Amino acid sequence: MRCYLSLFGMILITAFRAFQRIHLKGTNVCSSVNIVRLRNYSLALLICFVGLNSCGAPPKESLPDQVAYQAPEIPPLASEERLVMVDRDVAIRDYFAYMAGLVSQWDSLVPYSLDEHLLVWANSWIIDSLANTDYYHLMNRGVFQEDLQALIILRKGDLLRIPDSLFASLLLEARAATILDLNIPEYKLRIYEGDCLLHTFLVRVGQNRTRHLAMAGRDVDLRTHTGVGSIVRINRNPRFVNPRDNKEYESTLRDDGRRTGLPLVPWIEPELDGQRFGQLIHPTTNPATLGKPYSNGCVGVGEGDMWRIYYHAPLGTKVQFRYQLEVVDEAGDTLLLSHIYPDYRPTTADKAPSPLLVCSCGPVGEEVN
């Protein structure tokens, strides 16, 4: 029976691959993205068949030390693609080093420039696993995890797919069409691929005041700046420093009153209109502050949301931070938002294109009074 299921899976993937090659030319960005997604759905179907046949039942949820999805063994999708078996358990604190090693090992063996983002998008279940390590997601499942960096994200025996050149080209096409759009008074960060809205995240933005920050050594306007630009820096191992007193800290007080170690979630920095204002996109460990002007200028999102933003925002990704008061809601009604920066007057640059552009995230564990 197992042989028949494996054979069925190979036929399914081969037929889809033929369809993909025939229809690749002349497709627009959204259709290319949908092809990628359809291919992933086909892979997921194959995984289900093989997994059910091998195990007889869905894998058990493993908490708290086995957060990562247990990828079943599957055959290669095409002659150009390879499957790599994870040779040890990989905790979040070792995750970036492990992925960098894989990229270095395989980059010279594939006919394109392999990077971490391409590798993970070819194995997109990793993004879901990382997002589910959010402290508050775990607490909702009854799991308290003080050391979030100790969570296992890849298990020994998991299989990772190295994409072939065709799949990689589709992923790169989608990446080139990605825009992160932040509307400051709306507290919303959106991710678009072409004219496709992929995600909308609730964020926090800078306060409407000036404050002396010891880190900067001067008085700083804490309002989040507007502008158009791109992601110019990624920090995968950030230091946590209170900008008010320039002192480093190693734990964070959660909204539920518990104290935990700091999560290892990447931060990204945009350049806007040729300037770097130091307003990062990174996670906050206090989601109660989302939807408010609360930070020292950075854009804050939830820990799980930040993983999704990070993997949509490699270096060079387009961003737009705007201040638009007139917006259209999901029902098609026009709404007029309240000013959060009363002295700010929108300009023509703050008009949202069609589609809307841009994205953002925010600071981790800033306790701002």
pLDDT digits (tens, 9 = 90+) for 13-37: 444 444 444 443 344 445 444 544 5
Tokens representing 68? Answer: 């990562």
DSSP 288: G
The stretch 282-296 carries a mean pLDDT of 96
| In contact, 199 and 306? CB cutoff 8 Å | no
Is 148's pLDDT higher than 60? Answer: yes
**297-322 pLDDT per residue, tens:** 999 999 999 999 999 999 999 999 99
Give residues with Cβ within 8 angstroms of 194, minimum separation 6: 28, 29, 30, 33, 177, 355
CATH H superfamily, domain 178-350: L,D-transpeptidase catalytic domain-like (2.40.440.10)
Cite the residue boundaries of each domain of the chain with CATH code 2.40.440.10. 178-350
Average pLDDT of the chain to the nearest whole number:
80
Beta-carbon neighbour count of residue 139 at 10 Å?
15
Instruction: Report the half-sphere exposure of 245 (CA within 13 A, side-chain side).
Output: 6
